[in-house]
Amino acid sequence: MTRAALLVLADGRFPAGGYAHSGGMEAAVTSRDVYDAATLEAFCRGRLHTAGLTAAGLAAAAAAGHDPLALDEAADARTPMPALRQVARRLGRQMLRAARATWPSPGLDLLARVRPQGAHQPVVLGAAARSAGLTPLDAAQCAAYESVGGPATAAVRLLGLDPLEATALLARLTGELDEVARTAAAAAGRVPAEGVGALPAASAPLLDVIAERHAARTVRLFAS
């Protein structure tokens, strides 16, 4: 158990397939909803407080050791769009492969056995954090950071934005990121008493809509 494990897990270079996904950014750029640093910031803030918060809650609960199958169902219930479900499970599979190689544990093996087609990525992320000896808050922080880090990197590639500006934007969001992670971890702490219904279920209809649109496109840089 080490704090530095959080750095390894949260590193964008962790080989779990994230580089091929833009978190809706490519679709938002295509629809001209994001075109500069200001609109990128608005997009990231929106994603953090919706999809990011929901993912952070699931990750925290998984890191706390709650039943991953119940959490996977809870993730399904919070992910109505088929395109996003498919992406979440594919990324979950890739995360599980990386996690089992980096922090092997019976818990991860079990998850691979009961969900051969992949569990939702935030659930696997939480299980990986647990396997690495990290806390539910760590897992929530990691999920929350991923929810904005991926789109910001994608925007740099898609729009030719100044990478320094994009990183400064992420730095400005860190206070809110901590807040979202704390909220998510607190909700995960209520799961034993209240069930998975205690977990955040925030959604962003526009992210849902553009995700389906993106999945139908034949010319694209990112898988989602």
Partner 1 sequence: MHLDHPATPLSLPHRHTHSADALRPDGSRRALRVGLGGPVGSGKTATVAALCRTLRDRLSIAVVTNDIYTREDAEFLRREAVLPPERIAAVETGACPHTAIRDDISANLEAVEQLEEALHPLDLILVESGGDNLTATFSRGLVDTQVFVIDVASGDDIPRKGGPGITTADLLVINKTDLAPHVGADLGTMAADAEKQRGPLPVAFTSLATTDGIAPVADWLGECLASWRAGAAA
**Is position 8 an interface residue for partner 1 (rule: CB under 8 A)?**
no
Q: Least distance from C-beta 113 to partner 1, angstroms?
A: 4
Check if the beta carbon of residue 78 is closer than 8 Å to that of residue 107.
Answer: no
Residue 44: burial class (beta carbons within 10 Å; 0-12, 13-18, 19+): buried
The one-letter code for the residue type at 173 is L
Q: How many residues bind partner 1 (CB under 8 A)?
A: 30
CB 147 within 8 Å of CB 176: no
Closer to partner 1 at the Cβ: 118 or 136? 118
* For helices 53-63 and 121-131, angle between their N-to-C axes, nearest 10 degrees: 40
| Shortest Å distance, C-beta 160 to partner 1 | 12
Residue 113 touching partner 1 (CB under 8 A): yes
Say which residue the tokens 């069930």 belong to: 195
For partner 1, the closer of residues 134 and 158 by Cβ is 158
97 binding partner 1? (CB under 8 A): yes
91 touches 119 (CB < 8 A)? no
Residue 20 in the binding site for partner 1 (CB under 8 A): yes
56 is a contact residue toward partner 1 (CB under 8 A)? no
Sign of CA dihedral 217, 15, 45, 61: positive
Which of the residues 144 through 183 are near partner 1 (CB under 8 A)? 154, 157
Residues engaged in binding partner 1 (CB under 8 A): 13, 15-22, 90, 93-94, 96-98, 100-101, 104, 109, 112-113, 116, 154, 157, 218-223
